[in-house]
Every structure is written in C-alpha cells, then in structure tokens.
C-alpha cells in the first residue's frame, strides 16, 4: 500500500489538482512517483481523471471580489463580516470545516488569510465570517469597507470532520457530539451546530478567553453553550488536570468529541479522552499543498500536506 492519505479534494471538481501535475498526488500512487497502481480505492480513479483532463490539473478555486453586505463590531478586536458569495458557494460553505482565503482588494496574494466559515445562508448566498484582529493580515481585512477578495471554498479546516457524518454527508440521527472551543474557535463550532440541526445533539463547551460573549448570543440559541475555563481546568494546581472536561464528557455520554482550540489544549484533552476531530492549526498558506507551509513529516519521513489531508495522523488526536 502506497497511500497514507485521505485527500479532502479527492473526487471533487478540483481533482486532480496541481499536486498531480507535479507528481505529488496524495492519493494516486502513479501520480506520486510509483510506477504501479496501489491506491486505496475511493470510487474514483485519480489517474484516469488526470488522463481525461489532458494530463493537467482541473480548475482552481475561484478568486473574486465579493460585496460586504453587513459588518458587526464586537469587543476584543473582533468583528463579523457578512459576504455575498452567491448561492452555489454558500451551499458549499455550509459544510463543517469550510473556510475561505480573504485579502484586501488593494493587496497582493501575500496577504491572503484563511478564515473559517461561521454560518452560511444558502437562500441568500451569504457567508458569515468571525475575524479577530491579531496581525497585519487580519488588520487589513478589518479595513475593508464595501468589498473583499475571496478565494474558496476550502474544506479542511477541521481534521477528521468526516467522522461526524454518515454515508450521505449528513450527521447521523441520534449522534451525541461534544465540542470544546476556545476564543474564535467558536466560529467553526457554530457551523457544525447549524449543519447538525435537530438530527443530533450538539453540546458546545466554550472558553470565552479574548472573545466577546455577544457573538455567541447573536449566533447560537440560548442553552446550546456551556462555559468553561480551560486555563483553570488544566492549571495543574488544583485537583487533576482536565477534571472538568473529563466530568462533562463522562456525564454527557458523548460518542464524538471535537476540539477547536490551540494545539496545546488539543494535546492536553487528548490525554484524557478520545478526540474524533480537531482544529487544523497547521500553517495554511496556499490551501493547495503547493507551498509546503502546511507540511508535516512523520517519524518514517513521510510528508503530509495538511491543507489537503483529512483522515491521517490519528496518533496526533
């Protein structure tokens, strides 16, 4: 077996991509330097698609100027942009783990910044993006008035997100999901909650550190969020580290756990309970696996492009 990856774009309208052109396909052994066919069959032959496309990559994700329909300001240097992307892209953005790249219309591609989709209005063609100003790129986005440049939709903002869904891409009825968030990590959690609807129970445990609680009250119905303090729970001072998380997990009888925090808390929570999915905190730069900023090399020397890989590195979770 020469396939160690499950590519988020495999079989999509963007497959095969530029990695196939460069001989670095994450799925197809023939398009990654191996002369024989030795892939994990996913119902589509990437090599055959590559041949039919004239030995070239298919279309790239569109980059376009989008109208800013609404802007809401919050405390802690946070704001929400409501952007008109059209019904087709809004439909694609409704999937949990979706994100887009944004930049100011006057800036070049160096200023692209990945932002998770918090909410998608498929009827009106709108997406809602919660953004916290933390550097030059996000500050430039905060200066956008009427338009912003959008590239997407991308799908791998949450590693392991497919573990939440059934065979038809919907949350299986009766599933009991626990989500732990910190700060702006509440944004992708809101999208998961919206996607699950009434089919499954989704409980969100949110740490409000550096986050205006009004965002939660504006975008989540009352009663869907419980508040925690991760720093206190994992302080290693009082009691056993992670005692609160362990207690609510055991009491809630959850069958899926999603952690949308920094890598530190992902690792700490992983020591206590099994994690089904977590925030993709790798450096997402181009979103296509070309630049290598998201690369992760394991102990065997295998390099994973984490902007593309969706179902690997389970030992990390």
Return the CATH number at 68.
Answer: 2.40.30.10
Q: Where are the beta strands (DSSP E) in the chain?
A: 63-74, 78-84, 99-103, 113-116, 119-121, 126-132, 147-154, 158-159, 176-182, 201-207, 225-227, 256-260, 277-279, 295-297, 303-305
- 145/166 same-domain check: no
In a domain, 238, yes or no: yes
In a domain, 185, yes or no: yes
- 116/171 same-domain check: no
> Before 16, cis peptide (omega within 30)?
yes
- 150/226 same-domain check: no
C-alpha–C-alpha distance, residues 267 and 261, integer Å: 10
**What number of other Cβ atoms are within 10 A of residue 186's Cβ?**
26
Q: How many domains does the structure of the chain reveal?
A: 2
**What pLDDT score does 97 carry?**
93
How far apart are the two ends of the chain, measured CA to CA in Å? 23
- 174/229 same-domain check: yes
- 150/163 same-domain check: no
- 143/78 same-domain check: yes
Contacts for 125-128: CB closer than 8 Å, 24+ residues apart: 125/84, 125/85, 125/86, 125/87, 125/88, 125/89, 125/90, 126/69, 126/82, 126/83, 126/84, 126/85, 126/90, 127/82, 127/83, 127/85, 127/89, 127/90, 127/93, 127/100, 128/80, 128/81, 128/82, 128/219
In a domain, 42, yes or no: no
Q: Exposure of 227 by Cβ count < 10 A (0-12 exposed, 13-18 middle, 19+ buried)?
A: exposed
**What pLDDT score does 317 carry?**
39
In a domain, 118, yes or no: yes
**What pLDDT score does 316 carry?**
39
In a domain, 37, yes or no: no
**What pLDDT score does 3 carry?**
40
Instruction: Check if the beta carbon of residue 23 is closer than 8 Å to that of residue 47.
Output: no
In a domain, 244, yes or no: yes
- 142/172 same-domain check: no
**What pLDDT score does 40 carry?**
67
CATH number of the domain enclosing 271: 3.40.50
In a domain, 276, yes or no: yes
Enclosing domain of residue 96: 63-155
Instruction: Check if the beta carbon of residue 246 is closer than 8 Å to that of residue 273.
Output: yes
- 259/227 same-domain check: yes
Query: In the chain, how many H helices and how many E strands?
Result: 9, 15
Instruction: Check if the beta carbon of residue 4 is closer than 8 Å to that of residue 302.
Output: yes
The residue assigned the tokens 């989709």 is 117
C-alpha–C-alpha distance, residues 65 and 146, integer Å: 10
Note if the pTM is more than 0.85: yes
- Give the pLDDT of the chain (317 residues) as one tens digit per residue: 344 467 888 888 999 999 999 888 888 888 887 777 877 666 788 999 999 989 999 888 989 999 999 999 999 899 999 999 999 999 999 999 999 999 999 999 999 999 999 999 999 999 999 999 999 999 999 999 999 999 999 999 999 888 887 655 677 778 899 999 999 999 999 999 999 887 888 999 999 988 999 999 999 876 679 999 999 999 876 668 889 999 999 999 999 999 999 999 999 999 999 999 999 988 888 888 888 888 888 787 777 888 888 764 443 33
């Amino acid at each position: 077996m020469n396939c160690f990856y499950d590519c988020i774009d495999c079989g999509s309208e963007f497959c095969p991509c530029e990695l196939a052109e460069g001989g670095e396909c994450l799925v197809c052994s023939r398009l990654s330097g191996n002369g024989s066919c030795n892939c994990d069959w996913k119902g589509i032959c990437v090599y055959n698609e590559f041949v039919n496309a004239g030995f070239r990559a298919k279309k790239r994700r569109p980059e376009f100027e989008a109208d800013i329909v609404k802007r809401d300001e919050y405390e802690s240097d946070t704001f929400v942009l409501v952007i008109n992307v059209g019904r087709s892209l809004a439909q694609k953005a409704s999937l949990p783990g979706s994100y887009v790249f944004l930049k100011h219309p006057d800036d070049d591609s160096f200023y692209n910044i990945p932002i998770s989709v918090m909410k998608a209005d498929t009827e009106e063609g709108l997406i809602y993006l919660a953004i916290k100003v933390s550097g030059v790129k996000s500050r430039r986005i905060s200066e956008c008035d009427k338009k912003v440049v959008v590239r997407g939709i991308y799908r791998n903002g949450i590693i392991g997100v497919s573990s939440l869904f059934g065979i038809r891409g919907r949350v299986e009825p009766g599933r009991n999901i626990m989500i732990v968030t910190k700060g702006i990590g509440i944004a992708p959690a809101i999208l998961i909650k919206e996607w699950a609807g009434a089919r499954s129970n989704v409980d969100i445990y949110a740490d409000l550190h550096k986050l205006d609680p009004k965002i939660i009250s504006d975008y989540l119905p009352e009663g869907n969020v419980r508040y925690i303090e991760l720093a206190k729970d994992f302080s290693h001072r009082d009691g056993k580290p992670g005692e609160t998380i362990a207690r609510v997990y055991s009491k809630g009888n959850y069958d899926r756990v999603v952690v949308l925090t920094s890598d530190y808390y992902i690792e700490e929570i992983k020591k206590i309970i099994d994690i089904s999915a977590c925030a993709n905190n790798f450096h997402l730069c181009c979103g296509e696996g070309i630049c290598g900023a998201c690369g992760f090399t394991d102990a065997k020397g295998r390099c994973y492009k984490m902007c593309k890989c969706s179902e690997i590195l389970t030992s990390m979770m």
